[in-house]
């Protein structure tokens, strides 16, 4: 059976899928909901969020689910954040400009 090939660029995307190069994955359509709130925590390190609007802007229109890990640069430092919760309670939510982003202590 011929299947279309989907290329997933970037290690963070493959990490969130728990997949590596040349893995076969199943893809299905899902419904996304606009996120009212997303709670992050530092992944293996604690961070203080000084301006949540910057993080919302970086992640605007991204779909997230619990356990997703995102990596950013802050100056010369790498910042790794994990999604610990979101509202509404759905499989995935979409971050938009009105999403409230907080850090878990």
Q: What is the pLDDT of residues 61-104, one digit of tens each?
A: 988 889 998 888 878 888 889 999 999 999 889 999 999 999 98
User: Residue 76: its pLDDT value, please?
Assistant: 87
Element of type H or E holding 82: strand 77-87
Domains observed in the chain: 29-103 (3.10.330.10)
Instruction: Give me the pLDDT at residue 2, please.
Output: 60
* Cis ω before 88 (30° cut-off from 0): yes
Residue 22 CA from chain centroid, whole number: 22
Kindly report the pTM of this predicted structure. 0.76
């Amino acid at each position: 059976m011929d299947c279309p090939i989907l290329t997933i660029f970037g290690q963070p995307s493959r990490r969130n899928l728990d997949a590596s190069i040349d893995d076969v994955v199943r893809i299905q359509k899902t419904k996304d909901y606009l996120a009212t709130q997303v709670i992050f925590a530092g992944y293996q390190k604690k961070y203080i969020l000084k301006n949540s609007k910057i993080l919302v802007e970086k992640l605007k229109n991204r779909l997230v689910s619990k356990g997703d890990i995102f990596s950013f640069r802050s100056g010369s430092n790498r910042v790794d954040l994990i999604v610990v919760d979101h509202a509404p309670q759905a499989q995935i939510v979409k971050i938009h400009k009105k999403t409230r982003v907080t850090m878990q202590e």
